[in-house]
Amino acid sequence: MNNKQLPIDGKGFLNNPQHRAVFFQIIALIAVIFCAFYFANNMFDNIEKRGITTGFSFLDNTAGFGISQTLTNYDDGTSTYFDVFIVGLLNTLLVSILGIIFASILGLLVGIGRLSNNFLISKLSLIYIETFRNIPILLQILFWYNVVLAALPSPRQSMNYLDSVFLNNRGLLIPEPIFESGSSAILISFIIAVAAVFYLTRWSRKRHDKTGEEFPLIKVSLAILILAPTLVYFIVGQPISAVYPELKGFNFRGGLAIIPELLALLFALSIYTATYIAEAVRAGIEAVPKGQKEAAKALGLKDHVILSKVVLPQALRVIIPPVINQFLNLTKNSSLATAIGYPELVTLFSGTTLNQVGQAIEIILMTMAVYLTISIVISLLLNWVNAKMAIKGR
């Protein structure tokens, strides 16, 4: 027998896979660093040539332009570009959160409707989903803004609901709540109610584990949550009143005005995102094997117990991750507001501020950083939810 080892014919440095890995990585790193250096070099040259200032000191300069919707105190004359940034950020968050709420409700309804054994409802849900998810979101935003809302009557001919809600081409006017002294008591009572419900939940779960007795948790919690603040409201002497919008001359005074840009954006974003949420809900409920429902029925559980204890816990595990992704998509899509001029981050900061200041790199990086932060927060949330919902093997 010839036990002599086979000669390794390639003795070159690169024939060793480990050496090769290191070699290629160094090449890749050098290429990236070279590109970065080249771009940075050109960038500084160009900036110098065009006389653009650098750095973030522009944030302290006075902006001096008006914004149609501000959630903080913003003054055309004195507020700085940093205030503009904050206003834009808050408006982005406002439209995202409202959009997420409406899209979730609509998506849940349509998703359940899609599974309904009522032929008509199921088909209508299908038509809704297939229609709106196949139309670009920007087109939908522009359509709502330029066609539907633009066709509304002028303030004098406003559509009027119960003399308190008005809809016209300048937006939607609703009564504005006024919080007088004492309204903080209501808030405190609400917080206490929430804490009570929290402990009640823990107590009832413990009792259920020990004795197996059910506690009507949802009914009692709802009662606590609604009754406590209502009682305090009357005890303190009805400190919350409302200012109703009134037509004075050519426009409305008082009340809370929702600008048409926000309305158009909310309509488009929620209708579009709801189609994806509906599909996720449908897929999640369909993913629960039929045998699970049958087994639960065979155990003699009631229908609502089957839904809440057997179907939903398993369906939610499938539903929640894609839905959270859709929330992130909705937030990113809210940047399209710049096409209709809703004053959110991209419109105010990457648009108006960029035009006035001209420091493109800083401004666009700041805008991107905001969205990156939001998406990192949402993916951390998603990971947390996934870890919490993972099937715990024993």
Partner 1 sequence: MATYTMKEAKPAPSGSKGIIFWLKTNLFSDVRNSLLSLVGLYLIYLTIPSLLNWMIFDATWSGTQDEVVNSGARWIFIIEKFDQFIYGFYPEHLHWRPNLVAVLCVAFLMALKVLKNNKTKIVIMLLFPFVCFILISGGWFGLETVETEKWGGLMLTILVAAVGIIASFPIGIVLALGRQSDMPILRTLCIGFIEFVRGVPLITILFMASVVLPLFFHDGIEFDKLLRALIGITLFQAAYIAEVVRGGLQAIPKGQYEASEALGLSYWQGMILIILPQALKISIPNLVGSFISLFKDTTLVLIIGLFDILAMVTLTNSDTNWLGYEVEGYVFVTLIYWVCCFTMSQYSKSIERKFNTEH
69 or 338: CB nearest partner 1: 338
Amino acid at 155: P
46 or 241: CB nearest partner 1: 46
Distance of CA 82 to the CA centre of its chain: 23
128 or 166: CB nearest partner 1: 128
Report, in Å, the least distance between residue 208 CB and partner 1.
30
232 or 323: CB nearest partner 1: 323
- What's the rounded Cα separation, in Å, for the pair 363 and 394? 51
Comparing CA positions, the residue from 125, 145, 133, 124 lying closest to residue 266 is 145
39 or 65: CB nearest partner 1: 39
136 or 216: CB nearest partner 1: 136
Comparing CA positions, the residue from 248, 252, 243 lying closest to residue 168 is 252
**154-186 exposure pattern, b = at least 16 Cβ within 10 A, e = fewer:** ebeebeeeeeebbbbebbbbbbeeeeeeebeeb
Token pair listed for 23: 């070699």
Strand partners, 390: none
- What's the rounded Cα separation, in Å, for the pair 109 and 374? 27
User: Which stretches within the chain are classed as H helix?
Assistant: 17-50, 81-115, 119-132, 137-143, 183-211, 217-236, 260-287, 290-298, 303-305, 312-333, 345, 354-357, 360-389
- What's the rounded Cα separation, in Å, for the pair 143 and 146? 5
The CA radius of gyration of the chain, in Å to the nearest whole number, is 29
173 or 265: CB nearest partner 1: 265
Residues 6+ apart with CB under 8 A from 166: 155, 158, 159, 160, 172, 173, 245, 247, 252, 255
Report, in Å, the least distance between residue 274 CB and partner 1.
16
43 or 227: CB nearest partner 1: 43
Report, in Å, the least distance between residue 82 CB and partner 1.
19
Distance of CA 359 to the CA centre of its chain: 29
Residues that bind partner 1 (CB under 8 A): 21, 24-25, 28-29, 32, 39, 42-43, 45-47, 49, 116-121, 124, 130-131, 134-139, 142-143, 146-147, 332-333, 335-336, 338-339, 346, 350, 354, 360-361, 364, 367-368, 371-372, 375-376
Report, in Å, the least distance between residue 176 CB and partner 1.
32
Token pair listed for 126: 């299908």
Report, in Å, the least distance between residue 115 CB and partner 1.
13
Report, in Å, the least distance between residue 303 CB and partner 1.
13
Report, in Å, the least distance between residue 325 CB and partner 1.
10
167 or 370: CB nearest partner 1: 370
Distance of CA 276 to the CA centre of its chain: 14
- What's the rounded Cα separation, in Å, for the pair 358 and 350? 10
Q: Are 248 and 162 in contact (CB under 8 A)?
A: no
Report, in Å, the least distance between residue 90 CB and partner 1.
17
Report, in Å, the least distance between residue 269 CB and partner 1.
13
Report, in Å, the least distance between residue 62 CB and partner 1.
23
43 or 188: CB nearest partner 1: 43
